[in-house]
Every structure is written in C-alpha cells, then in structure tokens.
Structure 1
Amino acid sequence: MTRLLVTGAAGQLGRAVLHHLVQTSKVAPGDIVAASRDPQKLAEFAAAGIETRAADFDDEAGLVKAFTGIDRVLIISTDELATPGKRIAQHRNAVAAAAKADVKHIIYTSMPNPDKSLVSFAPDHLGTEEAIKASGVPYTILRNSWYGDNYLMSMPHNLQVGRWYTATGAGKVANISRDDCARAAAAALANPPAGSQTLTLTGPESLSAEDIATRVSKAVGKPLEVVHVTDEQLSHGLTGASLPPFVVEMLVSADANIRAGNFDLLTDTFEKLTGSKPQSLGAYLETQKAALSG
C-alpha cells in the first residue's frame, strides 16, 4: 500500500486535491492522509475514510511525526505572506521533515520562472525548490501559473465601475484554474513522473488584459474597459482601497511580472499528467457568473 499525504488539506487547493485523488485518480480513501494545522477542519474527510493528522509548518518535529509512514507527500505552499521570511522557513521545515521521515517522493506547488519572476513571493518558491533539490528526495515540482480564480477578487468591483485598471501593459498570461492545478497535483501524487522533474502548468491560451476583459464581459454581459496604468498609479489605487501593504506589493508585482513576459508560457504538462485538456479562462469564467456579478 502506497500512502499519500496532502498538507494544507483544509485550504481551497488542498480540499480540491483530496477530491481529485478519490474521484479522478481513483485512489482508495484508506491510502490518503489529510494534514492540517487544525485537524478539526478535516472532519468531512475523516468521515469519508481518509486519515487526518496534525501538521504545523512552524513545528518541524511535528511535521516529522505527521510524515512518518508516508510514501509521497504533497507540500502545498502556505499563505504566510505578511511576515517576510516566515513562508520560506515553513517550507524548509516541511522539506527537512520529509527527508527525516524517509518520504520517498515530494510534490511541491511552485510558480513559473521563480528565478527571474518579479512577483513578491517568488523568492519563497525558489528557495523551497532549492531546498527540495538539496534534500536528496526525488521530487516533482509543479509550477502553477496565475490562477484564473484570482480575478474573482477584483473583477466584481471592476464590472461595477466598468473599468479595469491594470499595469500588465501588453503582457500575456496563460491562466489556469485552481481546480485544474489540484487535478494535476492529484495525478502527480497518485502516479508521479519518473525521477525528479520540474513541470510548469498553464492554461490552453496566453491572453492579454484586453483578451481577459472580453471574456469577463461575455460571461456576465457587461462592458469592461481596460485602463492601462503605471505600477505607481496601481499601487496608489490599491492602497486607497485599504488593502494591506503586502497585498498591494503582491498585486503590483504580479502585474509587473505579466508585463515582463514571465507568465507568457504555454505547456502541455496538464494534459500529460491528467490525460485531459485544461479549462480555458472563458469557460471557467462562465461557471463563475454569480461570483463575478458580486
């Protein structure tokens, strides 16, 4: 029996991975372990026959205990972005724990081009990739492109005012849905590629801001004008909307990264891992009409 563990199982990506392990990859619930800082949030999985364990990324010894007896572990990057240095320390704890627990294979959710990315949290991913490679444990690094889901945070407001202020310039991005990333992660966890590989997951098309706005407008039947601004103007507007400084930095840096072409990638990794094609952004947005309408 091969034992598979998913960290961050109470989060959106973790929950989706568990779903796809059982429903899409057809892994028996008894072969899966769901791990979270708060196992009480995993009651639904326990009821489905999935073992639950406590796993706090700030506690390396606790992670070793959680990973003991596990053959493959999916390390989902944490959401600790507010405190500089905390996220990479957590990830290094998880990698070290996997090695100490004699895990046979690590799967990690990273991002495209972390070595040259302008996104504020890219160094966390690069440092984690380096730690994994240094651990000696075979690995599959999945570099997830920018989620199409991220548009649900700002597009309802943009549609209300009819304008989308963006600093992406003429840059393009091959958005992929969180659910597709979860499906690919589940496939890699259930049947990892041979050896150690670094793979980039993208959607089926690379789109400009105007392309994206057209798809948003079509999904909800409302016009959306793209207004190009500078990084400084975008930062000022986001700050005026009372967003925390680290969120402002993340969003401005993400636009700069798109403008620089670092998200303009198309791969067939998703299809190779899952045997199916990734959902297009337009198709995804069609399923999110209620969320986009606010």
Structure 2
Amino acid sequence: MTQFKDKTLLVTGASGHFGRLAVADLLERGATRVVAGTRDPSQLEDLAARGVEVRRLDFDDAASMAAGFAGVDRALIISTVADNRTVQQRAAVAAAAAAGVQHMVYTSAPNPRPNASGGGIADHFWTEQAIAAAGLDFTLLRNNIYADMTIFGAASALASGQLFDATAGAGRNYVTRADAARTAAGALLGATGKEVYDVTGPAPVTQEELAALYTQLTGKPVARVGLSGEQLLGGLAAAGVPSFMAQLLVAFDLDAAEGYHAVSTNTVERFSGRKPQALADFLAANRAALG
C-alpha cells in the first residue's frame, strides 16, 4: 500500500521519537519526497543527509506553518504534548488546509470526547472535529496507550513493589510506539477517503498481568494496587508529574475501566504489513531497561 510514495509527504514533530520512526519507515518503503517538520531543524541534520527535506514548522508560529505546509500533498500531524494543544493543532489543521494539503493523517486517542472529565483526551476530539470540517480527506488513527509507557512506569513499580492504577481491573490493548509509527507512515502512503481507525496491540492486558510480567522478567515482586481516579491523580501530583500529563494518564485509566481500551483491531497489520508486537514480547525485548 504505497500508491502515494511519489507525493510530497510531510511528517510534523519529526525530531520526536514517533516522528523519527515514521520518517524512517517512509524511506524504507520507498517514499521519494519526504518532508520533516520540526521546531528545531538542527536536530534533523542526519535526516537531511539522507535526502529528507527539513523545514522549520512550529504550531505556535503561523508563518512557519504557512511555509512548512506549502506544496505538501499529504501530511501526518503528530499530536503535541502541551497544555494548549487544541489551539496548536487547530491552527496546524487550518494552515494545512489553506496550503492545499489533500489528505491528513492524525494521531488521536481512543474514545475522544469533549467532556471536561476527559482531560487531555478532549483535545483529540476538537482536533478531529477541525480536521473533519476542513474539507480534505483524512485518516484518524486512535492510538491505544503505548507499550513504551510500561518501561517508564516500571522503575517506581519495581522500587516500591506496587503498581498503582485506576483501571478497575480492566484490560488495555497496548501498542508499541514503533508499530503505531509504522501504521501512521502506511496510512500516509496509502490511505484514501475519510476514515477512522483504532490502533491496538494483539490483545488486552490487565494491570495485574502487567505486574506479573514485571515480576517474571526481573525477579522482583510487584503487586497491582487499584485506586480511584482521584487517588491516582493525587499520587501522580505528589510524584511531581506535570498536571497536564497527570490528568491525561488518569483519563486513560478511567477510559480503560469503561472498556474503551480493550478493543482489538487489525489496523497495525493493515497499514504496516506486519502483526503488532505483544506487550510481553516487547517487555522481554527491553528487559535491560526495566532495571
């Protein structure tokens, strides 16, 4: 599925982990006109050396967006991590539409909604609405929580012997960042029309099962401890997690508790050409990072 490999394909946030993975996959799959957008082009000199056109593109700078989207046929908008990202992303969508972008791929989240209780998930809802109203074709990729997040969460769990969550024992279908990035690249290369997809791993995993995986792989006992959303938010705040990120993490847990993260789809295989990696295999491959 590479029918648009000779179109001008833009990846925003290309200096981030997800963006770099997406650009690399585009190149591996034969894309000939790849543009990497970033706030700091000096970070992408390695990609420029591989023939990628690097452009300064800052969602807080209208002039950079007008120049960044100019001449682009299809764009991958990677969601930002900022407390004003609804404003940022709506501005990016408007700039892309004004520049004549024909198809937009956006990295969203499961169950986006405008409710204030949704935390940062509401940003995805409003961005999706802006894309749908922009008059261009789109592929909305509602990425489940990244398996990579379990690496970052391992340190405190292994140190304390406790894994805290507010999922009410429900499962979530972790997808690796690499699988999600390859999926986004595949959509940029081949998706058509106006479509929405959930991007998931192969099967849901509960937090109790995750705690057992930590124990199995490290030999250190970890027990899952269920909390309310309010208790979890307080614990994250006490641990120094920034408010925006803490609210987003709690919202993800509460959505998992409602079953929104237990969906399994074939989206990764559809757009990347390979089956998604299971969480157990991902953690085993990254055992050294667990500590």
Distance 1:55 1:272 in 2: 30
Distance 1:231 1:123 in 2: 17
1:110 aligns with 2:114: no
- 1:175–1:206: 8 Å Cα contact kept in structure 2? yes
Equivalent residue for 1:281, pick from 276, 279, 282 = 279
Task: Letter of the 2:251 partner, please give it.
Answer: S
Q: Secondary structure at the match of 1:57?
A: coil
- 2:143–2:198: 8 Å Cα contact kept in structure 1? yes
Gaps of 5+ in 2: 1-5
Task: Letter of the 1:236 partner, please give it.
Answer: G
Equivalent residue for 1:249, pick from 244, 247, 250 = 247
Deviations 1:149-186 (A, max 9, x none): 11222211211221112221121100000010001011
Q: Secondary structure at the match of 2:196?
A: strand
Equivalent residue for 1:216, pick from 208, 211, 214 = 214
Equivalent residue for 1:207, pick from 205, 214, 220 = 205
Task: Letter of the 2:281 partner, please give it.
Answer: A
Distance 1:257 1:110 in 2: 14
Matched residue, 1:48: 50
- 1:215–1:282: 8 Å Cα contact kept in structure 2? yes
Matches within 5 A, 1:253-268: 253-268=251-266
Equivalent residue for 2:13, pick from 8, 15, 27 = 8
Task: Letter of the 1:167 partner, please give it.
Answer: A
Matched residue, 1:63: 65
CA shift, 1:291, in A, is: 1.7
Task: Letter of the 1:185 partner, please give it.
Answer: A
Deviations 1:50-109 (A, max 9, x none): 11001010123321211111111101111113xxxx211111111111111111111110
- 1:112–1:263: 8 Å Cα contact kept in structure 2? yes
Matched residue, 2:3: none
Distance 1:220 1:166 in 2: 20
Q: Secondary structure at the match of 1:74?
A: strand
Distance 1:242 1:6 in 2: 32
Deviations 1:119-138 (A, max 9, x none): 41111101011101100011
Matched residue, 2:153: 154
Distance 2:105 2:221 in 1: 41
Q: Secondary structure at the match of 2:141?
A: strand
Matched residue, 1:187: 186
Q: CA RMSD in A?
A: 1.6
Matched residue, 1:121: 120
Distance 2:40 2:54 in 1: 10
> Which stretch of structure 1 is more off in the superposition, 6-15 or 161-170?
161-170
Distance 1:96 1:102 in 2: 10
Task: Letter of the 2:30 partner, please give it.
Answer: K
- 1:36–1:54: 8 Å Cα contact kept in structure 2? yes
Distance 1:221 1:144 in 2: 31
- 1:219–1:282: 8 Å Cα contact kept in structure 2? no
Task: Letter of the 2:104 partner, please give it.
Answer: I
CA shift, 1:190, in A, is: 1.4
Distance 1:87 1:254 in 2: 17
Q: Secondary structure at the match of 1:148?
A: coil
Matched residue, 1:97: 95
Q: Structure 1's 223 and 116: CA in aligned 2 closer, same or farther, altered over 3 A?
A: farther
Q: Secondary structure at the match of 2:130?
A: helix
CA shift, 1:220, in A, is: 2.5
CA shift, 1:236, in A, is: 2.8
Matches within 5 A, 1:136-147: 136-147=135-146
CA shift, 1:116, in A, is: 7.5
Distance 1:94 1:254 in 2: 25
Q: How many residues align?
A: 285
Identical aligned residues as a percent: 40
Distance 1:134 1:232 in 2: 35
Distance 2:41 2:143 in 1: 26
Deviations 1:224-243 (A, max 9, x none): 11112222332332222222
- 1:216–1:282: 8 Å Cα contact kept in structure 2? no
Distance 2:221 2:288 in 1: 16
- 1:163–1:224: 8 Å Cα contact kept in structure 2? yes
Matched residue, 2:225: 227
User: When the two structures are superposed, what TM-score results if normalisation uses the length of structure 1?
Assistant: 0.92
